Amino acid sequence: MKNFLCQFGIAGDPSYNKPYNGKAHLLEDDPNWLPEGPTHRKNELGVKRFGKGYMAYAGSGQNSRSNQFIVALADHERLGGGSPWEVPWGEVVGKESFDTLDKIYTGYGEKGPSQPRLSKEGSSEGVAKDFPKLDYVLGCDVIDSR
């Protein structure tokens, strides 16, 4: 969604999604290491708590995380750490990475392919035909695991 976030992580090969199907296979929340509540949405310098490029698991409630993630396409006060399933665990680094974030197609908004369809079909020809501007993550590198 433009100036908000991008959700990603459903594998292009549907067999990789199977371990995350069903409530019994969801991941538990991480401990929240950020202070919660409205007074902690910005720091003393006005920096919002979930900055552009921050990444977290996508979730819809307690212990609802799976193989999907969110990355902030702009700075946000309310996301990231306000809920245990949105605790930031990483961020993109470097100008090239931020340039890539700015190029993510957001025109589909909430009318993109449904999660059930992506889980079932992956990156099928049908998905590609119906959503020709859909972006794909082809890989990533861990720079520092500390």
CA 89 to CA 91: how far, in whole Å?
A: 7
Amino acid found at 94: G
Give the pTM. 0.81
CA distances from 144 to 22, 90, 91, 92 (A): 32, 10, 11, 12
For 32-68, letters b (16+ CB in 10 Å) and e give: eeeeeeeeebeeeeeebbbebbbbbbbbeeeebbbbb
56 pairs with which residues across the strands?
Answer: 70
Q: Running along the chain, 146 residues long, what does each successive block of 10 average in pLDDT?
A: 86 88 79 68 69 86 87 79 74 90 93 92 94 89 73
